[in-house]
Structure 1
Amino acid sequence: MTLHPCLGRNAQPHLQKEDAVSTEAVTWAMDDAPMLRTKSGKPDTTARHVLQALAEHANKNGRNAHPSLIRLQYRTGYDRRTVQRALRRLQDAGLIVDDGRVQDRTRWKLALHVTRPASDWEDLERAEEEDREATAARVRKHRSKKSAVTDAEAVTETDADDVTEAGVTDSASVRNALEVRYVTHSASVCNALSAALTTNQPSEEPPATPMAGVGAQGAGPLPGAYNAPIDDAAFTVTDSMRRWAHATYPGLDIEHSTAQFVSHYRSTGARRHSWPDAWQKWIRDDARRVAQRHTTGNVIPLPTGQALTGTDARVAGWLALPTEDPS
């Protein structure tokens, strides 16, 4: 008789000579025994594993199973206390019964007459069917959203004349704000300026316009593309959007700003409720950055060799403006 190498010199062999692996006991432990549940209602897989290891040592009547705790640890991979707690749960559920002692080990009898209800299998089948139906519903919903995206040719364009309202900064004034103003020397500057001076006076903030939602549907996001990535939303810069941008910010490279806008949001995968509104904000921000760069160029040289910059240069420029003759 050869002993198992992991059990030591005085340990019992894997199975006693008169015993054999019982197909009946193992089949019951794997398929027919009731499934224990944890306190949270999930299957008690630990107890199930220990029961299967125990069944491998029982005869066809489910009796004479007396593996040591070390054997069950070796077979299941659980620590000693985990195996002991699992045996206790199986015993409390009536799936195993203490049937005496064999040397220093407990002999167990498996309750082969206790079987799980047929509804367990039916519940699993029903859950699987519900999961398939839910997956199919998600796929249908996703496809319907993509098919509902309005084609770019069908997008309603807003005429530029209808966009500009009373109180909105005229494009000409915006252009003048970004252009260079030529200030003529005046004696009122106390001879501080001896020649025609130039000062840039860009607007502090690009003018705001009530253009929210221009393009797409004229106001709001594309139908079926609510809160979608830029490609799924089929974002397109319409002619009315271009007219608005060129009229409001004539010094801005609209095509370059739009390419930067698309590349940024395509790389991040971000979602927006209204891509036309997001594009309009991007154009305003670009215009503001351009205006800020112009502001840093205010430099007025003085006859003394010094130079006025920033706010001083703007004030000097304003003082140098010729006043109207009251007569």
Structure 2
Amino acid sequence: MSTEAMNWAMDDAPMPRTEKGKPDTTARHVLQVLGEHARPDGTNAHPSILRMQYRTGYDRTTVQRALRRLEKAALIRRDGSVDGRTRWQLAMELIRPKTDWSDLEREEDDFRAAATARKRRSRSKGVTHAESVTVTDSKDVTVTDAESVTGDVTDSTPSRHALKVRPSRTQRRPNHQQPSDNQLHKDSCEPPAHESEPSASALFDSPASGADATDGQQEDIDFAAFYAIYPRKVAKGNARKAFAAAVKRGVKPAALIAAAQAHRDHWARCRTETRFIPHPTSWLNAERYDDELPSAAADQQSGATGYQPWRNPEDQSAYYEEL
């Protein structure tokens, strides 16, 4: 092994080029193997093809093609043979131009400059610079610079930033259902004396419904009123479907709500346990809303309402009388 020939093959030898003008790294690697087996003057390099395959990892055909390209570039030349192997002589008089190193340094500087410019552009995209901003909300405020603010504020209320003012109740917002003007007027006025508090029966006999409610919204309102009255809360989803089916059969929602209230009062008078009250789904599917119920007087005559919980009397003698 010769240090001089090895250094020449690695650093000083001209870089072989492919037909497209790119560095021929395969041929360069094979040239380094020849330099390892040459004398200091570059002569007597005769490693076998098998040795070059082992050293480089290339197959036989790749090594042979690389040798032909090196020979064509005049970096090596044939100098006889030894034991059936071709003997090569390295053209150590050929020196790599110094511009190759300066070109690589220039390419490296260009790459770093481009990377810095890309990073600067990506950062600038996240920041929006504006020389002047004019705000014309509910106040006359004009911002002409980031350093100066001029404006006329005539309101006596505590000042707030114009950009943080929340919209009022009556301001219409997109993508939201707006109340009607009549509804806003009703919300802002006190109810008359004769309409101060609706009766409990009025709530059940005619459930509340919005004038602008759609069919689906009205159905949800009616079912909510029914489910609130029915004393047993089980399987709400199935009950909703059964309620819709009953309405589809022609039963008015107000009739269902009234029937549910009547059954609730009957079960309360009879002190029926919750486990004996049918599920709302079963009650609706079985059309129990058409059942005839005994009157309140009949429930009272049957003794259903005769029970009264015992309360401690002020006169203790009454306690002994009950015993």
TM-score category (smaller protein): 0.3 to 0.5
Larger radius of gyration: 2
Judging by fraction of residues, say which structure has more helix.
2
With the length of structure 2 as denominator, give the TM-score of the two structures: 0.46
With the length of structure 1 as denominator, give the TM-score of the two structures: 0.45
Determine which structure has greater relative contact order: mean sequence separation of CA pairs < 8 Å that are 6+ residues apart, divided by chain length.
1
